[in-house]
C-alpha cells in the first residue's frame, strides 16, 4: 500500500507498520493523534489489532461517549442505551479483525453500532407489544382514595347546590354538616335557636335532595 493523497502521510506509514511498531516498541504518541490533536481511531484500531492493549483501551474509552450519544438519539430508555453501548462494544470486539486500516474507521463503527441499535429497537417493539407501561393510574386504581376525580365532581355538585339554598338553610348546613359544629355551638355562633336550626337543617336537606336529583336527572 502506498501513501494516499487524501490522508496525511505520516499516519499511514504507521498503519503500514502497525504490527512491527506494536511488536518493537510503542509507536510515538504523536502518531495516534490527528493534526488537530484528537485521537485517530483508525490508528488506534490498527494497533489494537496487533495486540496493543493500551491503544485498545484508549480507543474503547474514546468511542464509548460517541456510541452513547448515537444510541441515545434513537433509544429513549437510559438503561437500554447503556445496554446497547455494551452490545456494540462486544460486537466490535468479536469482529475487530474485519477492520481494514486503509478504510475510514467511522463507517465501520457506525455499521456495527446501527446493527445493535436496530436490534434493541426491535426488542423494545416486541416487548412493547406485550407489556403495558405501569402508569400512576394503575397504581391508585385499587386504593381507597381511587376515583378522586369523581369525588371532586360530586363535591362540586354539592357545593353548587348548597350555594343555591336560602341563606338560613345554607348557614345551618354549613355549620352543622360541613363544619361539624354541635347544635349548641351553631346556635351560639348564628344567634338562631336550636329548634330553628333543626328545622332549617331538615328543610335544607330536603331542598338539597331535590336540587341534586333535579341536576342528576338533567345530566
Helix, strand, or coil (residue 69) = helix
| CA 197 remoteness from chain centre | 57
Smallest gap from residue 154 Cβ to other proteins (A) = 48
Q: Is-contact 55 32, C-beta < 8 A? A: yes
The 174-203 site mask, x for binding other proteins (CB under 8 A), equals ------------------------------
Long-range contacts of 161-165 (CB under 8 A, 24+ apart): 161/208, 161/211, 161/212, 161/215, 162/208, 164/211, 165/204, 165/207, 165/208, 165/211
Smallest gap from residue 136 Cβ to other proteins (A) = 27
Instruction: Candidates 26-34, 57-65, 130-138, 173-181: pick the segment binding other proteins (CB under 8 A).
Output: 57-65
Smallest gap from residue 64 Cβ to other proteins (A) = 6
User: Does 49 sit near other proteins (CB under 8 A)?
Assistant: yes
How many Å apart are CA 72 and CA 20, to the nearest integer?
39
User: Does 39 sit near other proteins (CB under 8 A)?
Assistant: no
User: Does 140 sit near other proteins (CB under 8 A)?
Assistant: no
The 103-122 site mask, x for binding other proteins (CB under 8 A), equals xx-xxxxxxx--x-------
Contacts of 41 (CB under 8 A, 6+ apart): 59, 62, 63, 105, 106, 109
Instruction: Candidates 34-42, 44-52, 138-146, 156-164: pick the segment binding other proteins (CB under 8 A).
Output: 44-52
Residues 70 to 89 in contact with other proteins, rule: CB under 8 A: 82-83, 85-86, 89
Measure the N-to-C terminal CA separation of the chain; round to a whole number of Å: 86
Amino acid at each position: 500500500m502506498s501513501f494516499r493523497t487524501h490522508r496525511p502521510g505520516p499516519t499511514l506509514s504507521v498503519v503500514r507498520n502497525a504490527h512491527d511498531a506494536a511488536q518493537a516498541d510503542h509507536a510515538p504518541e504523536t502518531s495516534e493523534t490527528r493534526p488537530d490533536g484528537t485521537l485517530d481511531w483508525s490508528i488506534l484500531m490498527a494497533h489494537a489489532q496487533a495486540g496493543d492493549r493500551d491503544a485498545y483501551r484508549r480507543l474503547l474509552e474514546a468511542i464509548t461517549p460517541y456510541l452513547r450519544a448515537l444510541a441515545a438519539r434513537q433509544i429513549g430508555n437510559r438503561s437500554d442505551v447503556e445496554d446497547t453501548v455494551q452490545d456494540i462494544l462486544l460486537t466490535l470486539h468479536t469482529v475487530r479483525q474485519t477492520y481494514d486500516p486503509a478504510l475510514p474507521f467511522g463507517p465501520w463503527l457506525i455499521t456495527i453500532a446501527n446493527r445493535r441499535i436496530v436490534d434493541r429497537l426491535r426488542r423494545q417493539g416486541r416487548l412493547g407489544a406485550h407489556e403495558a407501561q405501569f402508569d400512576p393510574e394503575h397504581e391508585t386504581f385499587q386504593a381507597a382514595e381511587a376515583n378522586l376525580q369523581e369525588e371532586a365532581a360530586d363535591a362540586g355538585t354539592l357545593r353548587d347546590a348548597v350555594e343555591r339554598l336560602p341563606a338560613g338553610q345554607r348557614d345551618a348546613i354549613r355549620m352543622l354538616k360541613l363544619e361539624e359544629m354541635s347544635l349548641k355551638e351553631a346556635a351560639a355562633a348564628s344567634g338562631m335557636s336550636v329548634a330553628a336550626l333543626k328545622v332549617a337543617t331538615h328543610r335544607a336537606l330536603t331542598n338539597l335532595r331535590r336540587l341534586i336529583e333535579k341536576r342528576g336527572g338533567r345530566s
